[in-house]
Chains A and B, each alone.
Chain A
Amino acid sequence: MELAYYPGCSLKQSSSLYDRQMRLVMERLGVTLKELDDWNCCGATSAGKTDDFLSIAMPARNLGIAAGSGQSELVIPCSACYSRTLVAKHYLEADREIKETINLGLSKKIVSDVKVLSILEVLLGLIESGELARQLVFKPKGLRPACYYGCMLTRFPFPVPVPDDVENPRGMERILEAMDLHPLEWNCKTSCCGASSAVTDPEVSYGLMAKIIRDALARGANCLVTTCPMCQMNLDAYQDEVCAKHGISERLPTYFITEIVGVAMGMGIKPLEIDRHFVDGTKLLEELERYESEQ
């Protein structure tokens, strides 16, 4: 299977581990990722807050490139890029005039409709086809993950059709359950981590993150799992400070979904670059591996 692939800026920089994991995991599962040629920044939430036109035009150019790529589906693992691209698509479909104006300026025009997929949709498809089950070699059964979706996978400023429940999404849980793991039910899976306010207004975002970490711990979680590089960065890089400020003594490794899937397919911690977390994520996985091999 081939999919067009939009990594976005984070996956090329501070979250390059996610890009690497994405490629390794998809290759193992028989999916060839075709990175969009000369893609540009989607504008993220910043364009939405400062310039409505750019928030459409920036993802629109990528949609044009995707339309010319010959692929019918485009996977966007970053939740923010996924969300902004879907929102731009919504606008372009609703407003012919803006679509025509933008198309006139693009060298690769939006001539066909490319379906935008989240990483969860891709993985769920691979579960349905049985491909994932064929590749599983290791069940880290002691993992007690709390699946954290954040805002951007399910909540949009417009009625955008999303393939999961808005209040209680279960895509990530379904993937982990298919791997025989037992994700927890908890209260904060779609809470907001504060996004860029971790940088601009730490008090607000640390309070939001403390709520998330506290609830996960209270349910007995030993890690968080996410798909969003922004959420991962916030909950990982600032966790020590958040916990110190809010009197929380435990820590929770915050994994990308690709790390759990990768480990379960027997890919090592090193090749998956799981050693690049702020809150160590290697010890827990190594312990589970040892425990399983002793059984």
Chain B
Amino acid sequence: MTVSAIEVAPDSVSSLLSEVMERSGQNLLACYQCRRCAGACSVGDETGFFTPDRLIRTILIGDRTAALNNELVWKCVSCYTCGIRCPNGIQTGRITETLKKMAKEAHIDSPYPKMVHFHDSFVQSGLRWGRVNETEFMASYELKNSLSLLKQMDFRSVADEISRQIKLALSMLKLRRMHFGFLSAKGRNEIKRLHKQFKNKH
């Protein structure tokens, strides 16, 4: 993995920092770089340069580009281990969740689109029917994936992904762990209306 150089951008410090602090509810200024979080991070082996403490540092010095698009933002599994270990109670998991949303708003494409597709498909399914229908949600997820892979002409990955999912689906069928009934909640419109209202206001 290439090490991204962190740039110091004093002009953007306050806007980036205050936005992340407000939206994540985390006091990044309390971080004294002890790196306890780095030792705790579940995906620490996978994120290269970006450990939680360094992500915080990146935000503190105002490097918006690096903060919104790095391995930790995309790979964080929200296990919240860093946060319970942090002597200052800083939940980097909340920070990465916030940065994911900010990246989306800034139209930054994740290099790992599958995760974005997964969570989007899940919430859409839950919102549409009031309950998540696993087969519909997984089909929507796979469709989104395949489309973006096909756009990149990556036919090999499409084939690999589909054969992996079919294998899983077949064993699920055998164990009667695949569900074909249809789930919904009658009151789902209450949530849809509230959501719309909220989005219009903000």
**A-B complex is real:** yes
The reply to whether the CB of B186 lies closer than 8 angstroms to some CB of chain A is: yes
Whether A200 and B122, one on each chain, are in contact in the complex, defined by CB atoms closer than 8 angstroms, is no
Stretch at the interface among B2-10, B27-35, B38-46, B60-68: B38-46
Point out the residue from B43, B77, B118, B197 that lies within 8 Å of A46, measured CB to CB.
B118
Whether B123 and A192, one on each chain, are in contact in the complex, defined by CB atoms closer than 8 angstroms, is no
Whether A201 and B114, one on each chain, are in contact in the complex, defined by CB atoms closer than 8 angstroms, is yes
The reply to whether the CB of A204 lies closer than 8 angstroms to some CB of chain B is: yes
Whether B131 and A191, one on each chain, are in contact in the complex, defined by CB atoms closer than 8 angstroms, is no
Interface residues of B in 72-107 (CB under 8 A from A): 75, 77-81, 83-84, 89, 91, 93-94, 97, 100-101, 104
Specify which chain A residues have a CB less than 8 angstroms from the CB of B125 in the assembled complex.
41
Stretch at the interface among A112-120, A126-134, A152-160: A152-160
Whether A166 and B84, one on each chain, are in contact in the complex, defined by CB atoms closer than 8 angstroms, is yes
Find the B residue at minimum CB distance from A17. B177
Bound-state CA distance A49–B45 (Å) is: 22
Residue tally, chain B, CB below 8 Å to A: 61
Find the A residue at minimum CB distance from B26. A157
Whether A12 and B183, one on each chain, are in contact in the complex, defined by CB atoms closer than 8 angstroms, is yes
Specify which chain B residues have a CB less than 8 angstroms from the CB of A156 in the assembled complex.
80
The reply to whether the CB of A31 lies closer than 8 angstroms to some CB of chain B is: no
Whether A58 and B126, one on each chain, are in contact in the complex, defined by CB atoms closer than 8 angstroms, is yes
Specify which chain B residues have a CB less than 8 angstroms from the CB of A50 in the assembled complex.
100-101, 104, 119-120, 123
Interface residues of A in 1-21 (CB under 8 A from B): 9-10, 12-17
The reply to whether the CB of A72 lies closer than 8 angstroms to some CB of chain B is: no
Bound-state CA distance A18–B94 (Å) is: 30
Whether B118 and A51, one on each chain, are in contact in the complex, defined by CB atoms closer than 8 angstroms, is no
Specify which chain B residues have a CB less than 8 angstroms from the CB of A155 in the assembled complex.
79-81, 83-84
Which of A13, A167, A208: most chain B CB closer than 10 A?
A: A13
The reply to whether the CB of A45 lies closer than 8 angstroms to some CB of chain B is: yes
Minimum distance in angstroms from B174 CB to a CB of chain A = 9
Residue tally, chain A, CB below 8 Å to B: 59
Minimum distance in angstroms from A60 CB to a CB of chain B = 9
Minimum distance in angstroms from A276 CB to a CB of chain B = 5
Whether B134 and A196, one on each chain, are in contact in the complex, defined by CB atoms closer than 8 angstroms, is no
Find the B residue at minimum CB distance from A36. B185
Stretch at the interface among A102-110, A137-145, A285-293: A102-110
Whether A38 and B195, one on each chain, are in contact in the complex, defined by CB atoms closer than 8 angstroms, is no
Specify which chain A residues have a CB less than 8 angstroms from the CB of B81 in the assembled complex.
151, 155, 190, 192
Specify which chain B residues have a CB less than 8 angstroms from the CB of A16 in the assembled complex.
177, 179
Specify which chain A residues have a CB less than 8 angstroms from the CB of B115 in the assembled complex.
196-197, 200-201
Across the A-B interface, give the 10 residue pairs with the lowest CB-CB distance, nearest first. Answer: A41-B126, A13-B179, A192-B79, A46-B122, A46-B119, A40-B185, A105-B194, A200-B114, A155-B80, A192-B42
A14-B177, A40-B130, A54-B127 given. 8 additional CB < 8 A pairs?
A: A9-B131, A38-B185, A38-B187, A44-B122, A53-B198, A190-B81, A196-B122, A201-B75
